[in-house]
A and B are shown apart, each in its own frame.
Chain A
Amino acid sequence: MSEAIREVGDFRQIGTRPIRPDGLDKVTGRANFGADFSLPGMLHGRFLRSPHAHARIRSIDIAAALAVPGVKAIVTGKDFPDVAPGDIEGGEGGGDYHDMAVNVMARDKVLYHGHAVAAVAATSVRAAEEAVRLIEVEYEALPVVLDIDSAMAPDAPLLHEHLYTEGLPEKPARPSNVAQVMESTRGDIEAGFAEADVIIERTYYTPTVHQGYIEPHACLARWGQDEQSTVWCSTQGSFDVRSMTARVLDMSISRLKVIPTEIGGGFGGKTTVYLEPVAIMLSRLSGRPVKLVMTREEVFRASGPASASKIKLRIGAKKDGTLTAMHAWMAYEAGAFKGSPMVPGVMCVFAPYGVPAFKAEGYDVLVNKPKVAAYRAPGAPQALFATESAMDELARVLNMDPIELRLKNAVREGSQASYGPKFNAIGMVACLEAAREHPNYKRPLGPNQGRGVAVGFWFNVGMQSSAEIHINEDGTATVIEGNPDIGGSRASMALMAAEELGIPYQDVRVLVADTEAAGFTNVTGGSRVTFATGMAVIEAARDIISQLKARAAALWNVDVEMVDWVDGKVVARPGVNVEAEPLTLADIAGQSAKTGGPLLGRASLNARGAGPSFAVNLCDVEVDPDTGKVEVLSYTAIQDAGKAIHPSYVEGQMQGGAVQGIGWALNEEYIFSAEGIMENAGFLDYRIPVASDLPMIDTQIIEIANPGHPYGVRGVGETPIVAPLAAVANAVNAATGLQMTELPMSPPRILAALEAAKS
C-alpha cells in the first residue's frame, strides 16, 4: 500500500506518495533536533523552579550558588527588563508580552508550581544542579485557586491584583480572575427553546492535558560582544521565537538570528518561548554559549498544556430532529496568565450545524497552573466534546440514527457559519455520507460493545508565508522556506514545486532556512503550512515559469505572448513562424548566462481563503464491566482534505490526531494536589496511548476542493483531534447505557458511574 498511487485529475505528482526528502536523516539518527547542537566552550543551564503554586517572592540569595566551582552565571527576574503589556502577534493562541516575560522568569510573585525563579549556567549539568540547590529563596505562600468554579467565586484569591475583566460594557469595579468574557449570539434562543419538543441539558468537564511531544523544549544560545545573538532551537516558528525573545529582552530583532532545528513534535506547544530569552541572558553574562534543555518533568510542570474546561450546554430540537436553539456557557482555564483558547471555542461550538437561534458565552479564567499553550485546534476539542455528546444524546432520545440527525442539521455550501461568514464549498455532508456508507458503521457489535459517532471541525488559517526557488544549472531545484517541518511538509513543498515546474520530485530539495536566510513566515500552526506556504511555493514556481517563457521568447526572438508553458516545457504557440524545439527547465537553466542570469523565483503572500476542514469519526469500544477499562476495537477517521498533496501524510495527521484525542478521552489528565502540585509529571503516570492500546486507525480522505487554493488544498493538521473526545464518549455511552460528561473516562471514573447507575 505504501507505493499506491491515487488517481488524480490533471495532476502528475500531486497525490502520489514519495519518500520524504529528509527521511534518510530521520531513520539513521543523522537529523539534528533541539538538544543535539553543541558549541566549543558551551555551558549547561538549569532552572530553579517554584515549589509553591502561588507565593510572593520575598528575597533571593545567590551567593552560595555562585561559589560552586564551574558556575559562570546566574539570572533571576531582576536581570530582565520590564516589558510593557501588548497582545502577542503571530504565534498561536492568545497572550500578552508582559505576561510572557513574567512567565519566562518570575518577578515579584510565582503563579504556579514550577514557575521559573532563577537559572544557572555552569561548565557541567551537575555543577548547575548543585548551584540551583544552593539558591535561597524566601517565599510568602498565598492561597491557590485550581479550578474554574473556585477561581470565579466572588471572594476568590486573586492571581493578579490589577486584572479587570475585559469584554464587559464597562470596566468592572473590582479585579477578578476572569480575564475576558465574550458572547456570540444569533436569533431568539428563548423562542427557540419554547419551540423545541426535546431539550438536552448537561454540564461537561475536560481536564488539563498536555500535547505530549516526545522532544522536550531545547535551545542553544550564543551572545556576542557585538550584541548579535544566535539561537538554535526546536520551535514551530523561528520568526515568532525571534520577535518574542526580542520583546522579552528589549532588543532589536535585527540583533537576533534564530536557526530552527528539526522539531520533535509540537502540536501547538512550541509556539511560544520559555528557554530562549534565559539562554541569551546567561550567555551575555557568562560570555559563553549556553544550552538549556527541559527535563520531561519540567515540560509537564512548566510548559503550556491545554485548557481544562467546564461547558454547560443546552440544545433544543423538534421531534423530527430539527434544531431550534442552542446555548453554551463555556469556561476555559488559561493557567496563570490570560489567554485560553476560549474565543475559538465560542466561535466553533456550533459551527457544524445550522440553527436559527444560538448563544455562546465564554470566560477566560485564571488559575494557579502553568499558562496554557495552543494544542491542535485550540479550544475546539473541549467545545465539540460538549456539542457532539449532546447531539448523540438527542439522537438517542429521538430514536434517530446519529448520522441522520447530524445530516438533517449539517451546514453546507452557502450556510451562514455560526462564527460569521457564509461557508464556501465544505465537506461536512460528504463526510457524514461517507461515514453512513462505511463498512465500519455497519459491523455487528457484541455484548458490552458500543459505537460512537462525532463530528470534528476547525477553521484553518492562512497568514503570511514566503518561498524562494533556486534553479540549479542542470534544471534541478532548491526550495527555500522558513516553516519547520513537523510532519512531512518538505515532501508537500517538493511535490508542489515539482508539479508546477514539470520536473521529477527527486530533483527538488527543500531547505527550511533560518530567520536571516528565509523570507518572513508565520508559525507552523493553524494547519497553514501546506496551504499557505505551499501556495507561496506554487507562486514562486510560477514566477520561474514566467521567466522561462520570457527567456525562451528572447532566444526565439518572438514576443512572449507567442509562447506557452505546456507539460514542463516552453513551446511556441501554434502558428508562430520559428523553428523552435520545446525547451525544458533544464534546457534554459543550462544557458542561464546567455538568457539573463541565474533562475530564481520567489513569492511572498498573506494567504486568504483557508477552507475549513470537517471530519466525522466512528469509534467502536468494549467496556469491561468489572474493571471499567475501555478497549478501542476499531476507529475510523473521515476528513475533508480539499486536495491531499501527499496522502500518506494526510492520513498520518488523521491517525495521530485521532490517537491524541483517544488519549484525552480515556487516560490523560493533570492530577493536582490541593496545594497545586502536579502529581503525575512523567510519562509513566501521565499515560499517553501506546501501541498496544490501539487498533489500526482507518482513514478515508474526502476531497472537496478549497476554492481558495490553486490545488484545492485545505489544512488538515488540527481537525483530527476534535471529534475523538465525543466519538469515544458516545461509544462508551452506547456500550454501557451511561451518559459520561467528564473526561478522562478512566477505569475508576467508569466504575463509579456504573456503580451509581446500579443504585
Chain B
Amino acid sequence: MKLQVSSTVNGEPVEFLCAADETVLEVLRDRLSLTGTKEGCGTGDCGACSILLDDRLVCSCLVFAAELEGRSVTTVEGIATPEALHPVQQKLLEHAALQCGICTPGVVVAAKALIDANPDPTEEETRYWLAGNLCRCTGYDKIIRAVLDAAAEMRGARP
C-alpha cells in the first residue's frame, strides 16, 4: 500500500506516493529526481544527505517520506537563486574547498543552516556544527575557512 503525501520542496508544492518505509532521501532522489542530495551511508553518519526540514537541519536518510506531509523541505538544489549562488556556495568555490564534491551538497545545506542560526560563528562552533558532515578529501581546513568567510560576508552585506 502506498501513502499519498503533499509537501513543499524548494518552495514548490509536490505530491508523491511512497511506501511507509521509504525515506525522504529515497523519495528526493528516486521519485522527485533531485539527485543533488547524496547517499554516503544511509545511517545518518556522513551528512551527505543533509536537508532542511522546516528550516531544521536533518539527515534525509533518517526521516520517513510520509513525515513530509504538510511540511517544507529545502535541498541543495534550492539554495541558490537564478541570479546568484548563496555566499556559502560562492566561498566554497573561491577557497577551493571541494575536491571530489560528493560531500559538498550536504556541507552547503549544513553551513547555510549554521549561518542562519548563528550569523557570527567561531571556528570552533563551525567545526562542531559541521562535525556531522564527513569529508574525506579536504581535511576540512578550506571548508571551515570558506564558511567563516561566507558568514563574514553575509554580516557585512546586512544593513
Contacts and interface: CB of A to CB of B under 8 A. Distances in A.
Interface of A: 1-3, 17, 19-20, 22-33, 35-36, 126, 211-216, 262-267, 293, 295-296, 486-488, 646, 648-649, 651-653, 655-660, 682-684, 688-694, 696-697
B43 A683 contact: yes
Contacts of B102: 33, 213-215, 262, 264-265
A692 B133 CA distance: 10
A728 to B, nearest CB: 14
B99 A35 contact: no
Contacts of B134: 214, 683, 688, 690
Contacts of B146: 2
Nearest to A686: B45
Contacts of B95: 1-2, 648
B60 interface: no
Contact of A27 (B92, B131, B142, B144): B92
Given A17-B96, A24-B93, A27-B98, A656 B136 contact: yes
Contacts of B124: 692
Contact of A659 (B19, B80, B128, B140): B140
A31 B93 CA distance: 14
Nearest to B43: A682
B81 to A, nearest CB: 11
B135 interface: yes
B42 interface: yes
A753 B79 CA distance: 50
A283 B124 CA distance: 50
A264 B40 CA distance: 9
A280 B75 CA distance: 33
Interface string B135-159: 1111111111110010000000000
Given A296-B40, A296-B42, A688-B134, 12 more contacts: A1-B95, A2-B91, A23-B93, A27-B80, A27-B104, A27-B108, A33-B38, A265-B137, A296-B41, A652-B137, A657-B139, A659-B139
B100 interface: yes
Contact of A652 (B35, B133, B142): B142
B140 A216 contact: no
B135 to A, nearest CB: 7
Contacts of A32: 35
B85 interface: yes
Interface residues of B, number: 59
A658 B139 contact: yes
At the interface, is chain A mostly helix, strand, loop or mixed? Answer: loop
B127 A24 contact: no
A649 B42 contact: no
Interface of B: 19, 29, 34-43, 45-46, 48, 75-77, 79-80, 85, 89, 91-96, 98-105, 108, 124, 126-128, 130-146, 149
B13 to A, nearest CB: 20
23 contacts: A2-B95, A2-B149, A3-B94, A19-B94, A27-B92, A27-B105, A27-B108, A28-B77, A29-B36, A35-B39, A216-B40, A264-B103, A265-B102, A265-B137, A293-B39, A649-B96, A649-B99, A652-B138, A658-B139, A659-B138, A683-B41, A691-B143, A697-B139
A578 to B, nearest CB: 46
A212 B100 CA distance: 13
B139 A488 contact: no
Contact of A683 (B34, B45, B144): B45
A284 to B, nearest CB: 24
Given A28-B80, A214-B134, A264 B38 contact: yes
Contact of B99 (A33, A126, A652, A694): A652
Nearest to B108: A27
In the A-B complex, the 10 residue pairs with the closest CB atoms: A29-B36, A264-B102, A648-B96, A26-B101, A659-B139, A655-B139, A683-B45, A29-B76, A487-B99, A27-B89
Given A33-B102, A655-B142, A213 B96 contact: no
Contact of A2 (B85, B96, B128, B136): B96
A304 to B, nearest CB: 16
Contacts of B142: 648, 651-652, 655
Given A215-B38, A215-B102, A692 B96 contact: no
A716 to B, nearest CB: 12
B143 to A, nearest CB: 7
Given A212-B136, A683-B46, A691 B101 contact: no
Nearest to A486: B100
A488 B99 contact: yes
B138 A29 contact: no
B145 to A, nearest CB: 8
Nearest to A26: B101
A262 B35 CA distance: 13
A216 B38 CA distance: 10
Residue from B43, B101, B103, B144 having most chain A Cβ neighbours under 10 A:
B101
A213 B136 contact: yes
Contacts of A24: 85, 93
A216 B135 CA distance: 13
A20 B131 contact: no
A656 B138 contact: yes
A265 B75 CA distance: 22
A50 B44 CA distance: 26
Contacts of B96: 2, 17, 20, 488, 646, 648-649, 651-652
A660 B135 CA distance: 10
B20 to A, nearest CB: 12
A29 B86 CA distance: 13
B127 A692 contact: yes
Nearest to B34: A29
A694 B139 contact: yes
Contacts of B140: 659, 689-691, 694
